[in-house]
């Protein structure tokens, strides 16, 4: 495990001082009032102190080169010559940027917009001070861009402190209390604001005994975190236990229709808002993997979610109610039960019954953050409900922050997917019209925040894609490289940038190549989920099977002969996925059980594809490692050393995956490799 760092020795991630060079060497004027505008001024002053510029609130002094102004502030007309109305309403967080007469102007209607505008200029660096251009408006596509921390206050005996955490302990909690290192939390808030995240849930969705009390007598701890996040426009949310009325309220029941339970939630929530007036709301995992929920009382998820929503409504709070509900005690012998169907089966009958301030939070795939899954059919099936789409920045099933796996290309693919077919709305549209995006955070108290320094890019990219899902993953990576590595100041900027792209751009597909093939999923070691174990989950109650036998592999989820899951999709996907001929190769084994000699669109047989991709994946990891070695001397030695060490482990692990998966399918099928490579 990574030990807790000296707080003064934390990696600056995408906000090293050099990221502010362009802003800090200018004369900056800030107009407007309020705590977030104060943050803008403080940031500008910090930058200017390092790079010789000036940052001030009034126009006396050197001619401004960068003006950051709230529209409507008295006196701005004298310095802002752009037509302030040119860009229309900018909303709570939007901003407009223009450049003319050697002055770059950022305008916003609300203070949060000004803060996002400042970070926009930081991202642009020198180019923000280049050619003149008319006003361009930027508004977030998703209103709520949330990170869910799976942090426990206490150290859990099996999971450690952060459930599925690969970056050390929690930055919020230490020794059973709010973490004493507040500077770390403030630094986090700043990083989040700079990539666009605006909401954080501060504890694990599995709410254990101590954590249940955050809602009541431990509320001060939550308030402290809220105080640290607020200056950067980030609101706090809390995971609550559905049985809280019993666990911490002393009531005999948590039945949502009980006459004492309703007032208990109302009063408890009133106390939360009295202490944290901008509190965001509750996040709930109910009737899922052993967590309590409305089912125990014969009620459904709408009854449960509406109970909490009603308590939050007077304050504008929301309930994020997770749709990750399935039977984790199923019988593996029963081929008709299909975990992939569960969320749709449970939630779509409730469409239209949820209050306005309920957001049903759906994992992007029907299973569980696998390396490859189809988009969850729930996303297309609840037009009368606000939906949020959930990602996992934390790399539980994608190398656990020991492997390089840049996830933005995958999220981008999911966000652009059109559940009703070409030309229809995208997943991003559904989330934008509903509850936005949520993702499980990957940070901890590791000195690099994320264990693997290159995993910082996933956090950055999540925020950026939540702000604007149209951004291209490689452009987002470029932004991240510019901010984090300052290539302009390096001895070989091209080599640095090109090498990072070569290592990261395709790293998710590389990971896919050497792990579970063709969308079949899992094949990981049960429990901790790291490394290969092809049959590890095959005869367990978890509903995660591949059904490999001597003739073939894959899960028959068709309507014709399988579990009927394909019928949960609207056309055209219900038809595309139903057909082994039309189903995309990368999802073939998710939807179909096929023979090993089944020929893919690529022209290869299934079994030869498995061999080829596994060998290729290992070769690509070796190439990554060699490439990284060429960056010695071009990046911070501590980062270089940490990444080198992780790449060595990735290389070892990829080889292990390759050998086990290939040996497994060779032994099952008896089919030799067409190229005679060793299969053990
Ligand atoms: C996964 C993960 C669990 C987590 C669960 C969830 O199954 O392994 O640790 O609690 O997802 O999303 O609730």
Q: Whose CA is nearest to atom 12 of ligand 1?
A: 324
Segments of the chain assigned to CATH 3.30.379.10: 17-138
pLDDT of residue 166: 97
pLDDT band for position 9 (50/70/90)?
A: confident
The ligand 1 atom at the shortest distance from the C-alpha of residue 440 is 12
Catalytic residue flag (residue 396)? yes
Whole-number Å distance, alpha carbon 210 to ligand 1 midpoint, is 19
pLDDT of res. 6:
46
Tell which CATH classification among 3.30.2130.10, 3.90.1330.10, 3.30.70.20, 1.10.1240.10 matches the domain 511-554+593-669. 3.90.1330.10
Rounded to 10 deg, the angle between the 408-416 and 456-467 helix axes is 20
What integer pLDDT is reported at residue 412 of this predicted model? 98
Section 205-233 average pLDDT? 97
Position 2 scores a pLDDT of 38
Helix (H, G, I), strand (E, B) or coil at 32: coil
Instruction: Give the pLDDT of residue 82.
Output: 64
The burial of 514, by beta-carbon neighbours within 10 Å (0-12 exposed, 13-18 middle, 19 or more buried), is given as buried
Which residue from 354, 378, 383, 347 is spatially nearest to 364, judged by alpha carbons? 378
pLDDT at 8: 53
Atom number in ligand 1 closest to CA 163: 9
Task: Fill in the DSSP letter of residue 600.
Answer: P
In the chain, CATH 3.90.1330.10 covers 511-554+593-669
Q: Which pLDDT does position 522 carry in this prediction?
A: 97
- Segment 406-412 shows an average pLDDT of 98
Q: What is the pLDDT of residue 5?
A: 42
DSSP labels, 51-71: HS-EEESSS-SSPPSEEEEET
Residue 439 bridge partners (DSSP): 147, 391
Mean pLDDT confidence for 310-323 = 98
Q: How far apart are CA 680 and CA 343, in angstroms?
A: 40
| Tokens 């047989």 found at | 605
| Banded model confidence at residue 661, pLDDT cuts 50, 70, 90 | very high
221 is catalytic: no
Nearest CA to ligand 1 atom 10: 206
Mean of the per-residue pLDDT values for the chain?
Answer: 96
Structure tokens, 374: 């189809």
pLDDT of res. 568: 98
* Residue 3 binned pLDDT confidence (cut-offs 50, 70, 90): very low
pLDDT in tens, 430-482: 999 999 999 999 999 999 999 999 999 999 999 999 999 999 999 999 999 99
Distance CA 48, CA 71 (A): 24
Catalytic residue (choose from 102, 126, 289, 327): 289
Of 559, 530, 555, nearest to 544 by C-alpha is: 555
When pLDDT is averaged across residues 528-540 and rounded to a whole number, the result is 98
ipTM of the complex model: 0.98
Measured distance CA(498)–CA(627) in Å, rounded: 10
**Among 123, 127, 117, which residue's Cα sits nearest to residue 20?**
123
User: If you count them, how many residues does the chain have?
Assistant: 680
Q: Does position 61 have pLDDT exceeding 90, yes or no?
A: no
The pLDDT value given to residue 88: 83
CA-150 nearest atom, ligand 1: 10
Nearest ligand 1 atom, CA 396: 8
> If you average pLDDT over residues 41-56, what whole number do you get?
97
Which atom of ligand 1 has the smallest separation from the CA of 392? 12
Catalytic residue among 43, 368, 446, 586: 368
The segment(s) of the chain belonging to CATH 3.20.20.80 are: 145-328+341-485
Question: How high is the pLDDT of residue 403?
Answer: 98
Q: What percent of the chain has pLDDT over 70?
A: 98
**Distance in angstroms (rounded) separating the CA atoms of residues 13 and 639:** 11
Closest C-alpha to ligand 1, atom 2: 164
pLDDT for 273-285, tens place per residue? Answer: 999 999 999 999 9
- Exposure letters 269-289 (e unless 16+ CB within 10 A, then b): beebbeebeebbbbbbbbbbe
C-alpha closest to that of 191 among 19, 407, 24: 19
Ligand 1 midpoint to CA 470 (Å): 28
**Contact (Cβ atoms closer than 8 angstroms) between residue 161 and residue 152:** yes
* Ligand 1 center–CA 393 separation, angstroms: 13
Contact 195, 459 (CB under 8 A): yes
State whether CATH 1.10.3210.10 applies to domain 145-328+341-485: no
Distinct helix (H) and strand (E) counts, the chain: 20, 20
Of 396, 442, 527, best ligand 1 pocket probe by most atoms within 8 Å of the beta carbon:
396
Best residue among 343, 368, 529 to mutate for probing ligand 1, ranked by most atoms within 8 Å of CB: 368
Q: What is the pLDDT of residues 332-360, one digit of tens each?
A: 999 999 999 999 999 999 999 999 999 99
Give the Cβ contact number of residue 575 at 10 Å.
12
Confidence of residue 130 (pLDDT cuts 50, 70, 90): very high
Q: Give yes or no for residue 151 having a pLDDT over 90.
A: yes
Measured from the Cα of 288, ligand 1's closest atom is: 13
The residue annotated as part of the active site, out of 396, 445, 556, 612, is 396
Report CA(157)–ligand 1 centroid distance (Å): 16
CA dihedral 110, 111, 116, 121 (to 10 degrees): 110
Tell me, what's the pLDDT at 85? 60
CA distance 389 to 9: 35
Judge whether 289 counts as a catalytic residue.
Answer: yes
CATH code for the structural domain at 17-138: 3.30.379.10
Ligand 1 binding residues, C-beta < 6 A = 163-164, 205-206, 285, 289, 324, 368, 396
C-alpha 518 to ligand 1 mean position (Å): 23
Q: 3-class secondary structure for 415-482? A: HHCCCCCCCCCCHHHHHHHCCEEEEECCCCCCCCCCCCHHHHHHHHHHHHHHHCCCCCHHHHHHHHHH
- At residue 175's C-alpha, the angle toward residues 170 and 177, to 5°, is 80
- The pLDDT value recorded for residue 83 is 63
Ligand 1 centroid–CA 467 distance in Å is 25
Whole-number Å distance, alpha carbon 97 to ligand 1 midpoint, is 41
Question: Quick one: tokens of 4?
Answer: 């807790």
What is the residue with the minimal CA distance to atom 13 of ligand 1? 205
Q: Are 41 and 2 in contact (CB under 8 A)?
A: no
What is the distance in A from the centroid of ligand 1 to the CA of 285?
10
- pLDDT of 260 reads 98
Block residue for tokens 């001030």 = 56
Contacts 24+ apart (CB under 8 A), 479-486: 479/123, 480/14, 480/456, 482/123, 482/125, 483/14, 483/15, 483/16, 483/19, 483/122, 483/123, 483/194, 484/13, 484/14, 484/16, 484/19, 484/456, 484/457, 485/635, 486/16, 486/18, 486/19
């Amino acid at each position: 495990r990574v030990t807790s760092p000296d707080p003064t020795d934390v990696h600056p991630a995408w906000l090293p001082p050099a990221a502010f060079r362009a802003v800090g060497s200018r004369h900056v004027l800030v107009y407007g009032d309020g705590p977030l505008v104060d943050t803008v001024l403080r940031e500008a002053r910090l930058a200017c102190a390092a790079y010789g510029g000036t940052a001030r609130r009034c126009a006396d002094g050197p001619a401004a080169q960068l003006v950051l102004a709230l529209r409507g502030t008295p006196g701005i007309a004298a310095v802002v010559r752009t037509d302030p109305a040119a860009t229309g309403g900018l909303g709570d967080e939007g901003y407009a940027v223009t450049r003319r007469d050697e002055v770059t102007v950022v305008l916003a209607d609300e203070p949060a917009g000004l803060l996002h505008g400042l970070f926009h200029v930081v991202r642009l660096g020198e180019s923000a001070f280049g050619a003149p251009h008319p006003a361009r408006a930027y508004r977030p596509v998703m209103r709520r861009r949330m990170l869910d921390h799976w942090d426990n206050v206490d150290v859990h005996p099996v999971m450690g402190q952060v459930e599925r955490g690969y970056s050390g302990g929690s930055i919020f909690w230490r020794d059973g209390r709010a973490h004493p290192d507040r500077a770390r939390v403030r630094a986090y808030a700043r990083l989040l604001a700079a990539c666009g995240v605006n909401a954080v849930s501060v504890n694990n969705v599995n709410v254990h005994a101590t954590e249940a009390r955050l809602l009541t007598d431990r509320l001060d701890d939550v308030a402290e975190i809220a105080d640290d996040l607020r200056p950067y426009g980030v609101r706090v949310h809390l995971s609550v236990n559905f049985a809280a009325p019993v666990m911490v309220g002393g009531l005999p029941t948590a039945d949502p229709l009980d006459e004492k339970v309703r007032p208990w939630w109302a009063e408890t929530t009133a106390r939360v808002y009295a202490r944290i007036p901008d509190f965001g709301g509750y996040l709930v995992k109910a009737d899922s993997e052993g967590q309590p929920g409305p089912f125990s009382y014969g009620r459904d998820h709408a009854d449960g979610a509406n109970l909490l929503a009603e308590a939050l409504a007077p304050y504008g709070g929301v309930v994020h109610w997770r749709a990750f509900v399935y039977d984790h005690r199923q019988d593996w012998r029963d081929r008709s039960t299909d975990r992939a169907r569960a969320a749709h089966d449970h939630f779509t009958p409730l469409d239209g019954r949820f209050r306005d301030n309920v957001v049903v939070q759906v994992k992007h795939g029907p299973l569980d953050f696998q390396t490859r899954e189809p988009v969850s059919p729930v996303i297309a099936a609840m037009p009368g409900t606000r939906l949020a789409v959930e990602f996992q920045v934390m790399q539980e099933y994608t190398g656990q922050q020991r492997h390089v796996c840049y996830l933005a290309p995958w999220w981008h693919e999911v966000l652009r997917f059109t559940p009703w077919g070409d030309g229809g709305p995208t997943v991003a549209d559904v989330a934008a019209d509903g509850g936005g995006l949520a993702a499980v955070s990957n940070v901890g108290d590791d000195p690099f925040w994320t264990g693997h320094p290159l995993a910082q890019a996933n956090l950055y990219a999540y925020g950026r894609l939540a702000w604007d899902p149209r951004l291209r993953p490689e452009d987002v990576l470029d932004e991240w490289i510019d901010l984090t590595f300052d290539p302009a100041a390096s001895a070989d900027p091209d080599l640095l940038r090109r090498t990072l792209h070569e290592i990261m751009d395709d790293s998710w597909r590389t990971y896919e190549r050497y792990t579970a093939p063709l969308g079949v999923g899992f094949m990981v070691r049960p429990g901790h989920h790291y490394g290969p174990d092809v049959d590890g989950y095959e005869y367990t109650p978890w509903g995660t099977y591949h059904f490999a036998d001597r003739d073939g592999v894959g899960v028959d989820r068709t309507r014709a002969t399988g579990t009927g899951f394909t019928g949960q999709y609207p056309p055209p996907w219900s038809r595309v996925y139903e057909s082994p001929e039309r189903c995309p190769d990368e999802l073939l084994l998710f939807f179909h059980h096929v023979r090993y000699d089944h020929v893919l669109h690529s022209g290869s047989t299934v079994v030869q594809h498995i061999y080829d991709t596994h060998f290729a994946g290992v070769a690509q990891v070796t190439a990554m490692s060699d490439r990284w070695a060429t960056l010695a001397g071009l990046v911070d030695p501590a980062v270089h050393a940490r990444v080198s060490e992780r790449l060595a482990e990735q290389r070892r692990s990829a080889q292990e995956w390759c050998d086990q998966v290939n040996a497994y399918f060779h032994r099952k099928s008896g089919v030799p490799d067409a190229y005679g490579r060793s299969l053990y």
